[in-house]
């Protein structure tokens, strides 16, 4: 249309009356009248997406308009005819249009410009491309009209703007990103952001057009090339090469995109140095002790496993040394934790300084250190190092101006002899360390299966012992004590037994020393006192024998425990049968300990009405003067002297001397362990007051004792002489 000359004179009117047209099967009307042709052209003109108007050159009157053109200005195809541009076009658009209109007329060539048209419905403005085509009359060499064409550009302009905005955003993002970003096509670099330039130490200028793979470490290029040729979005960890030759770990993420329809790739290079450093730091922290910087238990375990593998293949031995500082807790509590920490650091340094580079040292926490010695030929190698370690650790350290020395106890386990797994080796080195401590500390000990087994048995026993009271596994036996001259029953000694769930009946020697070591003797002793009181009361209520004293053995720990006297007082009150039934047996050794305190306690007990008996007399070498000062009622001649009576002269001499001594001090004297008639006669002859032993009766259970009592003949004089 734009090129077809337009003759306005042929438009007779603007009536849209259209003649019926015969459509041919192919849609092309073969022969049309002029009117028919014109009508058809109008229809076509209304259906093109173009606003078209034809204005007279001189008056600017509209001579023709298609529908969209007329509507754009608020008219229809008919009402717009004959109106000038000034009448049609809003004032904001008019000056430019008139100017271009004139230009087109005078130049005789089409002119074109863009303008914004207000939408008739008040919607957003529309971008229009305005084209003014002069309708030249070839004969007169001048134009008689101008065809005004408006072409809507809004959509293109919008798209363009959106694209420009997004490109701007991308560009800004690229510039600001801390991650390296590269655009490349066919493997050649098209653009890179500053972060990328910095990663590589190159200027953008130097990189443009160069192969991207040049930036990758040579041995990694193959992998990255595979990534770049694939069509999926993928990422790999790889190494960049900086201009200075250093290698930088990055995550390489590649994306396929399009630019102006052409395929383009974008790669993101994420610097992994910080992440790797953080991971390494975490790894380090997990395997090291913060105070000393030495490997911790976890770190040590992996070293041990590693060295075990080496030792196995080299067929050499490996020594595991468990080092524990003696009394470190006490030091820590007295000098404070800061000084304690300082001491630990020094110990760590000293241990490290004693070792070869192939040796390993770790801190297990607290004051426990571990040393690994590979390539050990025999025990002497280890002893040599243990000695060096001891000397180094024990050297005094200056703490707040005072020289302080801590000694180490060292337990040693050898691989493969003492264990095949890291856990077993450490456990055995630990056990050996405890053995070193048990042997007086400041020493070393090799792991020993037998010793460990008995130590283990004790440990088990100890655990069971602490539950024996609640499980009701203890029982008392009673061994009668009779008057020598007539055999009258005067009392019993209570002797404890443990009915062990697996090992059967245990005598005191099998568990009392252990109970003493672990302070279990205090509750056990209390149980014995209560059980003795219960039985004493029972006999009194039954009227079986009166007066009947019950002798209870005391352990050192029990006697020295705070509140012991008060507990006895309470017991006597609770039992409610008076106080003259209770006798306490203390060994001669117990009385020698801390004299003023012992005397005070004994006096307090005496004041309660309790009798005091000195057990195992003759074995403790106590001075007579000392004994005289103590409130004592009774002496028990130790079994070892009675055993060889009457033929052993020394035993006989000692026994008679003790009896004489007791007499002199006005004390009752008892012989224990009386088994034979000859012993009994000797003791009777020398004036021993009372007798106790198998010859009279073995220790009896409660039921056995009560039966023994009731079956005794009434005339005891006979018994004492004849049995």
CA separation for the pair 612, 599 (Å, rounded):
11
Q: Which of 78, 159, 507, 517 binds ligand C2E (CB under 6 A)?
A: 507
Say which residues have a Cβ less than 8 Å from residue 272's Cβ, sequence separation at least 6.
Answer: 237, 249, 250, 251
CA separation for the pair 133, 114 (Å, rounded):
15
Enumerate the H helices of 143-272 as residue ranges.
154-176, 194-200, 204-207, 221-229
Q: Which is nearer to Ca ion, 77 or 615 (CB)?
A: 615
Give the helix/strand (H/E) hosting 611: strand 611-617
Cα 526–chain centre separation: 44
Residue 528 engages ligand C2E in binding (rule: CB under 6 A)? yes
Say which residues have a Cβ less than 8 Å from residue 527's Cβ, sequence separation at least 6.
Answer: 469, 474
- Which tokens go with 550? 């019950």
Q: Which is nearer to ligand C2E, 418 or 672 (CB)?
A: 672
CA–CA distances in Å: residue 212 to residues 74, 196, 217, 256, 346: 60, 12, 11, 15, 54
Q: Which is nearer to Ca ion, 289 or 615 (CB)?
A: 615
| Contact (Cβ atoms closer than 8 angstroms) between residue 125 and residue 93 | no
Residue 523 engages ligand C2E in binding (rule: CB under 6 A)? no
For residue 308, the partner it binds in Ca ion, ligand C2E, none, with Cβ less than 5 to 8 A by kind, is: none
> Does residue 416 have a cis peptide bond before it, meaning omega lies within 30 degrees of 0?
yes
For β-strands 317-325 and 668-671, DSSP reports them as unpaired
Q: Least separation, in Å, of the C-beta of 531 and ligand C2E? A: 9
Q: Which is nearer to Ca ion, 553 or 575 (CB)?
A: 553
Give the helix/strand (H/E) hosting 241: strand 234-241
For residue 599, the partner it binds in Ca ion, ligand C2E, none, with Cβ less than 5 to 8 A by kind, is: none
For residue 555, the partner it binds in Ca ion, ligand C2E, none, with Cβ less than 5 to 8 A by kind, is: ligand C2E
Q: Which is nearer to ligand C2E, 239 or 495 (CB)?
A: 495
Q: Which is nearer to ligand C2E, 77 or 615 (CB)?
A: 615
Residue 553 engages Ca ion in binding (rule: CB under 5 A)? yes
Q: Least separation, in Å, of the C-beta of 475 and ligand C2E? A: 11
CA–CA distances in Å: residue 279 to residues 251, 258, 271, 287: 15, 37, 14, 12
Q: Which is nearer to ligand C2E, 222 or 518 (CB)?
A: 518
For residue 694, the partner it binds in Ca ion, ligand C2E, none, with Cβ less than 5 to 8 A by kind, is: ligand C2E
For residue 699, the partner it binds in Ca ion, ligand C2E, none, with Cβ less than 5 to 8 A by kind, is: ligand C2E
CA separation for the pair 373, 388 (Å, rounded):
13
Say which residues have a Cβ less than 8 Å from residue 658's Cβ, sequence separation at least 6.
Answer: 617, 618, 635, 637, 641, 669
Site for ligand C2E in 647-676 (CB under 6 A): 672-675
Q: Which of 695, 570, 690, 698 is nearest to 633 (CA)?
A: 690
Residue 430 engages Ca ion in binding (rule: CB under 5 A)? no
For residue 508, the partner it binds in ligand C2E, Ca ion, none, with Cβ less than 5 to 8 A by kind, is: ligand C2E
| Contact (Cβ atoms closer than 8 angstroms) between residue 620 and residue 592 | yes
Q: Least separation, in Å, of the C-beta of 517 and ligand C2E? A: 14
Residue 588 engages Ca ion in binding (rule: CB under 5 A)? no
Binding-residue pattern over the window 578 to 607 for ligand C2E, x denoting contact by CB under 6 A:
-------x----------------------
The stretch near ligand C2E (CB under 6 A) out of 203-211, 280-288, 536-544, 553-561 is 553-561
The stretch near ligand C2E (CB under 6 A) out of 120-128, 358-366, 491-499, 700-708 is 491-499
The stretch near ligand C2E (CB under 6 A) out of 127-135, 229-237, 424-432, 549-557 is 549-557
- Could you tell me the maximum CA-CA distance found in the chain, to the nearest angstrom? 179
CA separation for the pair 107, 147 (Å, rounded):
14
Residue 326 engages Ca ion in binding (rule: CB under 5 A)? no
CA separation for the pair 531, 56 (Å, rounded):
137
Q: Which of 495, 506, 635, 659 binds ligand C2E (CB under 6 A)?
A: 495
Q: Which of 585, 588, 689, 706 binds Ca ion (CB under 5 A)?
A: 585
Q: Which of 135, 615, 689, 706 binds ligand C2E (CB under 6 A)?
A: 615
| Contact (Cβ atoms closer than 8 angstroms) between residue 351 and residue 408 | no
For residue 202, the partner it binds in Ca ion, ligand C2E, none, with Cβ less than 5 to 8 A by kind, is: none
- Which tokens go with 178? 């801390």
CA separation for the pair 191, 183 (Å, rounded):
5
Determine the 3-state secondary structure of 233 from DSSP: coil
Q: Which of 423, 694, 710, 718 binds ligand C2E (CB under 6 A)?
A: 694
Residue 693 engages ligand C2E in binding (rule: CB under 6 A)? yes
By CB under 6 A, name the binding residues for ligand C2E: 479, 494-496, 507-509, 512, 525, 528, 553-555, 585, 615-616, 639, 672-675, 693-694, 699
Would you tell me which residues interact with Ca ion (CB under 5 A)?
553, 585, 615-616
């Amino acid at each position: 249309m734009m090129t077809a000359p337009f003759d306005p004179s042929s438009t007779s009117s603007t009536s849209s009356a259209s003649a019926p047209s015969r459509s041919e099967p192919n849609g092309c009307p073969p022969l049309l009248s002029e009117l028919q042709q014109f009508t058809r052209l109008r229809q076509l003109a209304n259906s093109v997406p173009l606003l078209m108007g034809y204005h007279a050159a001189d008056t600017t009157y509209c001579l023709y308009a298609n529908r969209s053109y007329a509507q754009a200005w608020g008219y229809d195809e008919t009402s717009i005819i004959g109106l000038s541009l000034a009448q049609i076009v809003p004032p904001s658009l008019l000056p430019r249009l008139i100017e271009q209109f004139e230009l087109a007329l005078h130049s005789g060539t089409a002119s074109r410009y863009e303008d914004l048209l207000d939408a008739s419905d008040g919607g957003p403005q529309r971008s229009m491309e305005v084209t003014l085509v002069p309708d030249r009359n070839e004969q007169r060499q001048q134009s008689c009209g101008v065809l005004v064409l408006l072409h809507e550009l809004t959509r293109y302009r919008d798209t363009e703007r959106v694209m420009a905005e997004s490109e701007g955003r991308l560009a800004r993002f690229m510039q600001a990103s801390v991650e390296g970003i590269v655009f490349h096509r066919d493997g050649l670099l098209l653009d890179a952001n500053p972060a990328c330039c910095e990663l590589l130490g190159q200027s953008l200028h130097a990189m443009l057009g160069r192969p991207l793979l040049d930036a990758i470490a040579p041995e990694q290029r193959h992998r990255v090339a595979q990534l770049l040729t694939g069509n999926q979005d993928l990422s790999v960890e790889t190494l960049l090469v900086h201009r200075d030759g250093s290698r930088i770990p990055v995550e390489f993420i590649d994306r396929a995109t399009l630019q102006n329809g052409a395929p383009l790739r974008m790669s993101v290079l994420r610097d992994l140095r910080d992440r790797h450093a953080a991971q390494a730091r975490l790894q380090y922290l997990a395997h090291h002790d913060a105070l000393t910087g030495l490997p911790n238990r976890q770190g040590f375990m992996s070293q041990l496993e590693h060295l075990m593998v080496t030792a196995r293949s080299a067929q050499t031995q490996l020594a595991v040394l468990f080092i524990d500082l003696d009394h470190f807790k006490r030091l820590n509590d007295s000098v404070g934790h800061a000084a304690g920490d300082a001491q630990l650091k020094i110990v760590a340094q000293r241990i490290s300084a004693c070792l070869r580079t192939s040796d390993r040292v770790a801190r297990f926490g607290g004051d426990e250190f571990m040393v690994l010695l590979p390539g050990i030929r025999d025990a002497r190698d280890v002893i040599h190092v243990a000695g060096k370690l001891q000397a180094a650790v024990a050297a005094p350290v200056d703490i707040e101006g005072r020289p302080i020395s801590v000694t180490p106890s060292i337990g040693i386990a050898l691989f493969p002899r003492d264990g095949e797994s890291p856990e077993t080796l450490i456990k055995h080195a630990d056990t050996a360390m405890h053995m070193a401590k048990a042997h007086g500390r400041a020493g070393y000990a090799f792991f020993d299966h037998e010793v460990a087994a008995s130590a283990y048995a004790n440990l088990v026993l100890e655990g069971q012992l602490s539950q024996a009271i609640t499980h009701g596994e203890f029982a008392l036996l009673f061994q009668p004590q009779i008057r020598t001259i007539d055999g009258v029953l005067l009392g019993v000694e209570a002797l404890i037994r443990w009915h062990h769930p697996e090992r059967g009946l245990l005598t005191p020697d099998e568990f009392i020393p252990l109970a003493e070591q672990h302070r279990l003797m205090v509750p056990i002793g209390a149980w014995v006192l209560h059980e003795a009181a219960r039985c004493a009361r029972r006999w009194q209520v039954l009227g079986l024998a009166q007066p009947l004293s019950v002798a209870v053995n005391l352990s050192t720990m029990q006697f020295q425990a705070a509140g012991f006297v008060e507990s006895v007082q309470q017991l006597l009150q609770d039992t409610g049968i008076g106080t003259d039934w209770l006798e306490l047996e203390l060994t001669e050794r117990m009385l020698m300990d801390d004299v003023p305190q012992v005397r005070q306690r004994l006096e307090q007990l005496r004041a309660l009405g309790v009798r005091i008996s000195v057990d195992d007399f003759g074995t403790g070498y106590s001075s007579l003067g000392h004994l005289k000062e103590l409130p004592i009622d009774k002496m028990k001649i130790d079994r070892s002297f009675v055993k060889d009576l009457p033929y052993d002269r020394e035993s006989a001499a000692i026994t008679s001397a003790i009896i004489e001594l007791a007499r002199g001090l006005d004390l009752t004297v008892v012989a224990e362990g009386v088994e034979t008639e000859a012993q009994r006669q000797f003791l009777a002859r020398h004036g021993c007051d009372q007798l106790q032993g198998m010859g009279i009766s073995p220790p009896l259970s409660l039921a056995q004792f009560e039966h023994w009592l009731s079956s005794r003949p009434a005339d005891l004089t006979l018994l004492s002489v004849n049995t």
